């Protein structure tokens, strides 16, 4: 197996990031600096796949490839999606020691709702890459009631700073609440779109990513994906990848 693909399988980074690390001389195989044509030999074990070679990234030993795991997590407001051990409110402190799980993307600390947790580096790359245009749906409450013109403006795309957002799908949930589906992933996009039109977001909840639904999963809880959910997610990613 090519080295970059193996590093993605371990969950340490995406394949594209692995390629950059190899290019920059930050990856070692045994006692030598790796290069982009290197491959590794995998040995099947009870708990996953073990590399016959010893791999280091930034001088840290890379562990064996764990069996792939896919979980849903309902993030609460205040939980920081960054996996930083020195942050008391980091998501890291809520995750199991094994398997090692990483969030696909982030939710702002002030936002809540659905996160996908996995150790599948390839899936992470495909869901985060902007070219694939994966759909994420949110329920949003703003600080006062809005007219239908607000929905129309949001749907068409909003300009702020030096960007204009792509068209999106909007619907009203209440006088001051709306549902929005984005295929774009700009930083704090919904908050900035609303602010540009004169509204402040006071609650933002992600309820779906592609085919996955948050449903009635309690806040702060996590569960593994069902086989049906995983099959549908991987199929939806494959379809959008083919269209990209």
Residue range(s) occupied by CATH 3.30.70.580 in the chain: 70-130+211-243
The pLDDT score that the predictor gives to residue 182 is: 95
CATH superfamily of 135-209: Alpha-L RNA-binding motif (3.30.70.1560)
Q: Is 225 in contact with 85 (CB distance < 8 Å)?
A: no
> Who's near 51: CB < 8 A, 6+ residues apart?
6, 40, 41, 42, 43, 62, 64, 65
How far apart CA 124 and CA 15 sit, in angstroms, is 10
Q: What are phi and psi of 194, to 5 degrees?
A: -65, -45
CATH class of the region 70-130+211-243: alpha beta
Q: Which pair of tokens denotes residue 146? A: 């809005």
How far apart CA 154 and CA 145 sit, in angstroms, is 15
The pLDDT score that the predictor gives to residue 42 is: 82
Residue range(s) occupied by CATH 3.10.290.10 in the chain: 3-65
Please confirm, yes or no, whether 108 is among the known catalytic residues: yes
In the block, tokens 């949110």 appear at: 138
From first to last of the 244 residues of the chain, give the pLDDT tens digit: 899 988 887 877 878 889 999 999 999 999 999 998 999 888 876 666 677 789 999 999 987 777 788 999 999 999 999 888 999 999 999 998 878 888 988 899 999 999 999 988 778 878 877 666 789 999 999 999 999 999 999 999 999 989 999 999 999 999 999 999 999 888 899 999 999 999 999 999 999 999 999 999 999 999 999 999 999 998 888 765 555 5
How far apart CA 109 and CA 176 sit, in angstroms, is 22
The pLDDT score that the predictor gives to residue 244 is: 54
Preceding omega of 105 cis (within 30 degrees of 0): no
What's the predicted TM-score (pTM) here? Answer: 0.77
> Who's near 132: CB < 8 A, 6+ residues apart?
126, 237, 240, 241, 244
- Quick one: residue 133, left, alpha or beta (phi over 0 = left, psi -120 to 50 = alpha)? left
The pLDDT score that the predictor gives to residue 48 is: 62
Q: Is 164 in contact with 158 (CB distance < 8 Å)?
A: yes
Residue range(s) occupied by CATH 3.30.70.1560 in the chain: 135-209
Catalytic residue among 30, 59, 108, 243: 108
> Who's near 76: CB < 8 A, 6+ residues apart?
112, 219, 220
Architecture of domain 3-65: Roll (3.10)
pLDDT in tens, 99-156: 888 898 889 999 999 999 998 877 887 887 766 678 999 999 999 999 999 999 999 9
Considering all CA atoms of the chain, what is the largest pairwise distance in Å, rounded to the nearest integer?
65
């Amino acid at each position: 197996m090519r080295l970059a693909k193996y590093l993605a399988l371990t969950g340490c980074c995406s394949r594209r990031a692995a390629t950059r690390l190899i290019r920059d001389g930050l990856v070692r195989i045994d006692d030598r600096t790796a290069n982009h044509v290197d491959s590794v030999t995998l040995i099947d074990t009870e708990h996953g796949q073990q590399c016959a070679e010893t791999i280091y990234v930034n001088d840290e030993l890379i562990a064996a490839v764990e069996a792939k795991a896919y979980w849903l997590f309902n993030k609460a407001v205040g939980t920081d999606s960054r996996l930083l051990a020195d942050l008391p409110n980091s998501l890291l402190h809520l995750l199991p020691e094994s398997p090692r799980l990483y969030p696909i993307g982030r939710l702002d600390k002030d936002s809540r709702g659905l996160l996908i947790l996995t150790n599948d580096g390839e899936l992470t790359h495909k869901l985060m890459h902007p070219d694939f245009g994966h759909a994420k749906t949110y329920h949003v409450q703003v600080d006062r009631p809005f007219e239908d013109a607000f929905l129309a403006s949001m749907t068409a795309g909003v300009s702020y700073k030096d960007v204009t957002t792509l068209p999106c799908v909007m619907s009203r949930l209440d006088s001051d609440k709306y549902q929005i589906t984005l295929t774009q992933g700009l930083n704090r996009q919904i908050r900035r779109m609303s602010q540009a039109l004169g509204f402040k977001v006071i609650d933002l909840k992600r309820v779906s990513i592609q085919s996955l639904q948050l449903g009635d999963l309690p806040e702060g809880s996590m569960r593994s994906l069902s086989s049906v959910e995983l099959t549908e997610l991987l199929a939806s990613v494959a379809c959008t990848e083919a269209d990209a």
